[in-house]
Chain A
């Protein structure tokens, strides 16, 4: 009896995919988002050819970069059925911290600044992770609390002080201007981040564990997965990536102060959800989340390029999020039905 059930699981979706790789490719969760992004770019280009001029593409990529990194970090946490609402405050803290670092030690080597920022972000993420895993309180509540606490610390630290991009060393500011074969350097960094995280998440044991935890935490624990440690790692990784985003924020934008990054959290969660990561964990990829981030940041530019009333932008973002959730739901219902049918056939 047990052997039949174990065997019947294997020729399920996997065998189906092998039979028809093209169909399997199109069933990937990222496809609808990617298609929407391509359609958006093409339509905008058709209306306004200037939309794909080199300068405009560079701006598009630059605008998306920080969102991509944040979305990748957030996706890691959401896949484990948690959420991190404190990232906006972490971006602010690290961005302001970067500004004050350069203020104290102008000659500091840039890699060291990156290291400090990433470790700082990781520490803030570790506080979230500790509270979530030790106190066993939902991440939504804890990170809502730390969102306020981190923001309060930042406001106390910064006061009304602001650091402007002129205060930073020139090479640091140039990071977000320089290009490499037409691609901005920080965008290449973001792509590297996406690739690394995607490999760890998709192929490594620890990464696969995150999915198991997200789809059923109790079962994952019974299975012998160190859930506490994995969730903790997800929060630290999210914090570290958010720290990286914070440094890039300081490089990219004109000024950093007490309000830097506030309100980012819901935008990022939206990007992740649009990218096909289920809000209750267990499915989705960081590539999807990254595409979701690009889609959301491109909408703003393409609405401007097509001269759509700027007031419609946010409403359209809202509709997109809802559409993404509905599509996700339809796909998962269809998959469940298919699984049930194939299992019934095999038994």
Chain B
């Protein structure tokens, strides 16, 4: 930090640039200092503390229960992260899952088709729901927040239209068993394989393809992205289709796991998903975030909730914890940023003062 001062021009822009670009070479490697690392560190601390202090936490049973509980959240969080990074939002995910569940129930009850055909058709519900969102947002240029509040009501309403207030529950036993089955004695649910595939797909898409890199540019500035040659509308449209498909996947899983198809399945999980994504370091303004961070965010909320529940902390306190975590996760970066800025300013001021006094004495 003292180098630029020697030249006598501490405030020049180039020097500040050199200064910041040189910084990552010192100290910890880059991947250990980012926001992701902080979330992972907090996650590890929570797991360690819980294993030591909460009775029965460190067991394979925990792994099973914990993981199966976060499946819906972590699945939807993947495409949601991409949507938020590109500067949009999708509130209709839970309703899409509910609509899928309703369609699945009615198709299974009335059509007599094979369950696998029914499940495949259900994914088409997600494609259609996502494409409709995408059409309104990209083709008509409407704000995604407003559109998806509308489709949140619409898709949930259609779920009611499709299935009424009835329930369908006679799904094939081997499938419902499969949805909660564990891999051998590890306690890890079989469905985690699917989850890993989805995570890998979106991680590769976001971090290792031109499309994914383009999303960051999109989130920073739509105009700039257009000039760089990113097909903004095209990219956003497919992102909404992706959230639709994954949401309907969750709808199918939800139906099988609870062996019940109803219109109110998965109600309200959109806000939990968004909370987890934001906790995972994705900026609501777009342009910032990573898949590992989001995975850590989901795991953090899941683990904390599970550990506290095991420690017999009342459910109501858990809600406060979720909310507080969310607020802290967004307030903390801007608070540290503010403090850092203040420190920088006082330092600059002191340097300027020192230079001006030394200048006076030399003159």
Contact = CB atoms under 8 A, between A and B. Distances in A.
Nearest to A329: B142
A314 interface: yes
Nearest to A153: B320
Contacts of B91: 266
B319 A155 contact: yes
Contacts of A319: 150, 154
A141 B330 contact: yes
Nearest to A311: B160
Interface in B289-335: 314-324, 326-327, 330-331, 334-335
A293 B146 CA distance: 16
A22 interface: no
B40 interface: no
Interface string A148-175: 1111110110010000000000000000
Contacts of A54: none
B156 to A, nearest CB: 6
Interface stretch (A26-34, A109-117, A130-138, A241-249): A130-138
B320 A322 contact: no
A155 B315 contact: yes
Contacts of B158: 315, 318
B271 to A, nearest CB: 6
Contacts of B152: 266, 318
B143 interface: yes
B57 interface: no
B237 interface: no
Interface in A296-331: 309, 311-319, 321-322, 325-326, 329
Contact of B323 (A147, A270, A279): A147
Contact of A312 (B140, B157, B315): B157
Interface residues of B, number: 48
A151 B319 contact: yes
Given A135-B331, A329-B140, A145 B326 contact: yes
B164 interface: yes
Most central of B145, B151, B317, B321 by chain A CB within 10 Å: B145
B108 interface: no
Interface in B13-55: none
A148 B322 contact: yes
A141 B142 contact: no
Nearest to A265: B271
B316 A152 contact: yes
Nearest to B89: A140
Interface in A81-105: 83, 85
B100 to A, nearest CB: 16
B63 interface: no
A273 interface: yes
Contacts of A234: none
Contact of B324 (A136, A145, A159, A279): A145
Contact of B326 (A136, A148, A156, A269): A148
A322 B154 CA distance: 9
Contacts of B150: 270, 273, 318-319, 321-322, 325
A149 B320 contact: yes
A206 B307 CA distance: 48
A145 to B, nearest CB: 4
Nearest to A316: B157
Contacts of B11: none
A261 to B, nearest CB: 14
B153 interface: yes
Interface in B226-277: 268, 271, 274-275
A279 B137 CA distance: 14
Interface in B119-168: 136, 140-143, 145-147, 149-158, 160-161, 164-165
A25 interface: no
A59 B140 CA distance: 38
Nearest to A151: B319
Given A317-B153, A317-B157, A319-B154, A141 B164 contact: no
B75 to A, nearest CB: 20
Most central of B140, B152, B154, B164 by chain A CB within 10 Å: B154
A279 B145 contact: yes
A296 to B, nearest CB: 10
Contacts of B285: 138
Contacts of A159: 316
B77 interface: no
A131 B140 contact: no
A318 B155 contact: yes
B323 A137 contact: no
A34 B19 CA distance: 60
Contacts of A316: 157
A142 interface: yes
B284 interface: yes
A318 B271 CA distance: 18
A141 B283 CA distance: 10
A144 B143 contact: no
B323 A152 contact: yes
Given A85-B271, A149-B319, 12 more contacts: A83-B145, A140-B89, A141-B284, A142-B330, A145-B323, A151-B319, A153-B320, A266-B152, A311-B157, A316-B157, A322-B147, A325-B147
Interface of A: 83, 85, 131, 135-138, 140-142, 144-153, 155-156, 159, 258, 263, 266, 269-270, 273, 279-280, 309, 311-319, 321-322, 325-326, 329
20 contacts: A131-B331, A142-B331, A144-B275, A144-B326, A147-B323, A148-B319, A149-B327, A151-B323, A152-B319, A156-B314, A156-B320, A266-B152, A270-B153, A313-B160, A317-B154, A318-B157, A321-B146, A321-B150, A325-B143, A326-B140
